[in-house]
Structures are given as C-alpha cells and as structure tokens.
C-alpha cells in the first residue's frame, strides 16, 4: 500500500489541514489544533492523540472522534482505532519509538500527491436525509436528491446542485450516497471532491492510463463530484473532465455534481458541454430563511441533550447568524462548548459575548432610513410621520416600532436614533423600546408585525 509508508507526521499534517477546511478554522483552532500525536501502536492500529486537558480530551472524543478517525483512515488505512487522552492522563509527547518509526520509512511526497487512483472518499455518517432539515430554500434540491437515491428510472441526469458555501450541498451528496447504498446493497457509489477527481485524472493521464481510470468510474452506479468550480476554467484537463462526465451519462451512470454557481456561470466551459449538463436537473440551494435556520438549530439541539439553551437564545442565533448553516452550527457549538468550559449558564449576555466576532461579521447593515420606510409601508403612513410631532396613536405606535427596530437591528446609539426621529430625546427612544418589548409579550398582533418587519429587514 503506498499510503503505508507515509510518515505519521506527514499524515497528521494532512489530517489537520483537511479538518481545518471541513470543520471550519474557528472550530478547528479551538478544539483540534491543541492536539498532539502521542503514539501509534501499529500492531493494533491504535493511534493516540493528547489534548491539553481531560475536559478537552472528552469533548474531542464525543464531538470529533468520527471526524478524526475518518480523516486518519483516509490518509493511513492502518489506523483502526483512535484514542484521545488528556495530558494529565499520562499522555507522552511525540514518543521516541514514534520518531524511530518515522525514520524507518523513506521520505515521501506530500500526502495530496499520494492518493491512490480509484478511491472514493468515505461518507460522513451524520450527513443523512433524516438529519437534513427541509425548507423553502432547499426543498427542490432535497427532493431531487431523494429521487436520485431511490433508484428506478430517473427522469433526469445529471443532478447539478449549486448554491453558496455552507448551505448543505455536501450534506445532500453524502445523504444520497448513504441512502442509495442502503437501498441497493452491493452497488458502488463513488464520491469525491473535484480537486481529488482532477488529481487522480491527471495522474492517470501522466501514467497514460486514463482507460482504467474511466473503466473504474464506469463501474460506479452513482458518481458524485463535489465543488466542480475548482476545476472549471482551469485548462484542457477540464474539458477532459466534462467529456468523461458525458460518457458516464451516456453509459447510464447516475451523476451528481455540485458547484458554488450555476452551470452557466462556470467559466470557460464549452457550450455543448454546458447544454449537456443542463439536460439534467439544475437545482439551487438558497440561503436559509429565518424559519429554516430556526428549525435547523432546534434539530441540532436534539443531538445535544446536555446543552441547556433557552428559546430566546435559539431565536437569537437563528435570526442573527444568517450567512450560512455552517456558521450557524459553528456558533451554536461554540456557545455550548464555552458554557461547559466556564460552567456558566447560556443566556443572552453570555451568547452575545461569546459570539461577538461572528455577530459582527453577520451584521447586515440595516439603515434607520430603511427601517422607517418599511415600517411606514407596513402601517401605510407617510415617512414624514417618523419625524413629526404628532402623537395620534396611528402614527405614534409605528414610530415606536421603528425606534425599537432601529435599536435592535442597527448599532446606532439611543441619542443617534432619537436624532433621526425628528430630534427626539434618547429617553423617548428608551421609552419606545421598553413599550414595544412589553407589548410584544401581550399583543400577538403587534408581535407578528414586528417579526414580519424584522424578517423583511434582515432578509
Ligand atoms: P456546502 O457543501 O453547501 O458548502 P455543507 O453540506 O458542508 O455545505 O453544510 C455545512 C453544514 O451545515 C453541515 O454541517 C451540514 O450538516 C449543515 N447543514 C446545511 N444545511 C442543512 C440542513 N438543511 N439541515 C441540517 N443541516 C444542514
Ligand atoms: Mg461542500
């Protein structure tokens, strides 16, 4: 096995950079970066990692064990078991025997150049259809994915999934693979990133053996290539790639492709290849709306029974972390982890403090002017009423709602907000905010108005 002479340290480096990408830099830096190799028992295939504390070791064991093991096995199939121990539990630094082991094997090329051609990437167990939450943003893609996995006659081929990063494309592909295999035992499903595909393809071309590589691909019942934008527009090899795709479609293989943009927006692809791709089903995965984000957080919490996250915080996370699901999951994990580490209860203050940077990055800049326009539109009053001195209920209440929203959705200070509402005093703004807070708890209609406006403003 070519992988076997990969040195442990090289494998570890590759595992680390791979994980940093898949689980996100922030989570990685918090939990996995501090880990050290502490030993490898080749006879039993047991690899040991040391964490700085037994708490961390525990956390890593419960949350990242499968991730780590999979990543290791992809590099070094000899690894069969993985143990994470706390430094205080007697873990050693990189052992002598270990260095000897590394010294005994010949120096080798970087890991990414050593992949064996014809190797599918293993599936992530958590990425199933059951754990995927369906909403307006992703239902077309979800239904198409299910159809792909069911087997039987396909009305479309290939399935082309596209959408921004962190929205669930990879999750759906893994779900297709696992579901298809469960329904069709003994079949072959091949999944890999476009980068890996390309690498293997080029390696096969260099070895003047694209034939067996293509044969191998054709023997798959389902072939899935993730993130093809990485190879689009590269050069002639890209053309080879898409021609191969065409051959596979003609050979009746199920094909699933994902990209961060639509086929039309992939640059430098011949139009006849493009049209061939578009014969299939092109399904976009859109950014999740608030409701879907809320459902995802709720579902995720079901897998964290130890975490006590109040409803208010769940709502807050779903509302404010709108960029993508990966960030939303990351934020939830961080809050729960930090609460456990510090022994503090999870409340709004704790959440805001823990996520300050993420929240800032997710801030869509809503302006006071936008708020006033939306509110006036909603209540059918003129925008001039926002600054007028009139106190009639039909204008005073909307004005208070707008002030409340300005406080919630913009970083403006109370005096600044007051100034934008006809030069009112900051105490008037405080009063408005309290008033609306109180009313939201008792007046369902007003609460619904506020929710609707928030949703419109935050997109
Ligand atoms: P992409 O491939 O589109 O960049 P991923 O599939 O890697 O995104 O998704 C990022 C994270 O968000 C994963 O952990 C995935 O499980 C989660 N996720 C995305 N969409 C959903 C969803 N609809 N339901 C549950 N989890 C989701
Ligand atoms: Mg992906």
The enclosing domain of 187 has a CATH number of 3.40.50.300
Give me ligand 2 centre to Cα 185, in Å.
26
Q: Is residue 280 part of a domain?
A: yes
Residues with CB under 6 A from ligand 1: 127, 131-133, 138, 165-171, 296, 325-326, 329
Domain count, the chain: 4
| Residue 260: inside a domain | yes
Q: Give the closest ligand to the alpha carbon of residue 126.
A: 1
* Separation of alpha carbons 384 and 210, rounded Å: 71
Same domain, 278 and 157: yes
Domain match, 118 and 243 both: yes
Among 125, 167, 177, 327, the mutation site with the greatest number of ligand 1 atoms within 8 A of its Cβ is 167
The pTM (predicted TM-score) of the whole model is 0.62
Measured by CA distance, the residue closest to atom 14 of ligand 1 is 326
Q: Could you tell me if 273 and 392 lie in one domain? A: no
Last residue of a domain, one of 363, 381, 412: 363
The verdict on residue 57 lying in a domain is yes
- Ligand closest in space to the Cα of 323: 1
Closest residue to atom 6 of ligand 1, CA basis? 168
Does any domain span residue 102? Answer: no
Residue, of 57 and 399, whose pLDDT is higher: 399
Asked if 375 and 389 count as a contact pair (C-beta separation under 8 A), the reply is no
pLDDT-derived band at 88 (thresholds 50, 70, 90) equals: low
> pLDDT, tens digit, for every residue of 374-409?
999 999 999 999 999 999 999 999 999 999 999 998
Q: How do strand 46-51 and strand 189-193 relate by DSSP bridges? A: unpaired
3-state secondary structure 250-303: HCCCEEEEEECCCHHHCCCCCHHHHHHHHHCEEEECCCCCHHHHHHHHHHHHHC
**Does 253 map to a domain?**
yes
Q: Which of 23, 166, 226, 257 to mutate to test the pocket of ligand 1 (most atoms within 8 A of CB)?
A: 166
pLDDT tens digit string along 232-258?
766 666 777 777 788 888 888 899 999
Q: Structural domain of residue 280, as residue ranges?
A: 108-284
Is 81 within a domain? yes
CATH of the domain at 423: 1.10.1750.10
Domain membership of residue 98 (yes or no) is no
Q: Looking at residue 6, what is its pLDDT?
A: 54
Distance from residue 305's CA to the centre of ligand 1 (Å): 21
Q: In a 3-state reduction of DSSP, which class is residue 122?
A: coil
């Amino acid at each position: 096995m070519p992988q076997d002479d990969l040195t442990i340290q090289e494998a570890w480096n590759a595992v680390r950079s791979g994980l940093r990408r898949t689980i996100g830099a922030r989570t990685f830096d918090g939990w996995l970066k501090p880990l050290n190799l502490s030993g490898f028992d080749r006879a039993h295939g047991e690899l040991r990692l040391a964490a700085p504390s037994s708490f961390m070791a525990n956390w890593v064991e419960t949350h990242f064990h499968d991730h780590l093991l999979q990543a290791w096995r992809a590099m070094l199939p000899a690894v069969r078991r993985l143990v994470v121990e706390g430094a205080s539990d007697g873990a050693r630094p990189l052992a002598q025997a270990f260095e000897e082991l590394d010294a005994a094997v010949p120096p080798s090329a970087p890991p990414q150049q050593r992949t064996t051609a014809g190797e599918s990437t293993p599936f992530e167990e958590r990425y199933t259809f059951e754990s995927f939450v369906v909403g307006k943003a992703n239902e077309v893609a979800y239904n198409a994915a299910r159809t792909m996995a069911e087997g039987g006659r396909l009305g479309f081929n290939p399935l082309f999934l596209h959408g921004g990063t962190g929205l669930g494309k990879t999750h759906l592909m893994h779900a297709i693979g696992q579901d298809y295999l469960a329904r069709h035992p003994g079949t072959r499903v091949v999944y890999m990133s476009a980068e890996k595909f390309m690498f293997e393809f080029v390696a096969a071309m260099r070895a003047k053996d694209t034939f067996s590589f293509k044969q191998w691909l054709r023997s798959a019942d389902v072939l899935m290539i993730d993130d093809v934008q990485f190879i689009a527009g590269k050069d002639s090899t890209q053309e080879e790639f898409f021609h191969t795709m065409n051959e596979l479609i003609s050979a009746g293989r199920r094909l699933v492709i994902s990209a961060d943009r639509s086929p039309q927006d992939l640059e430098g692809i011949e139009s006849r290849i493009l049209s061939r791709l578009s014969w299939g089903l092109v399904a976009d995965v859109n950014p999740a709306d608030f409701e879907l984000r809320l459902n995802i957080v709720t579902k995720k919490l079901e897998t964290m029974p130890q975490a006590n996250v109040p409803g208010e915080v769940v709502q807050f996370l779903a509302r404010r972390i709108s960029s993508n699901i990966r960030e939303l999951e990351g934020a939830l994990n961080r809050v729960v982890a930090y609460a456990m580490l510090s022994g503090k209860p999870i409340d709004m203050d704790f959440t805001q403090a823990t996520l300050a940077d993420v929240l800032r990055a997710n801030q869509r800049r809503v302006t006071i002017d936008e708020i006033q326009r939306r509110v006036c539109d909603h209540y059918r009053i003129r925008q001039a009423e926002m600054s007028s001195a009139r106190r009639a209920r039909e204008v005073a209440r909307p004005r208070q709602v707008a002030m409340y929203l300005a406080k919630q959705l913009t970083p403006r200070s109370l005096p600044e907000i007051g100034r934008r509402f006809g030069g009112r005093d900051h105490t008037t703004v405080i009063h408005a905010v309290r008033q609306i807070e109180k009313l939201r708890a008792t007046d369902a209609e007003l609460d619904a108005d506020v929710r609707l406006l928030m949703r419109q403003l935050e997109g």
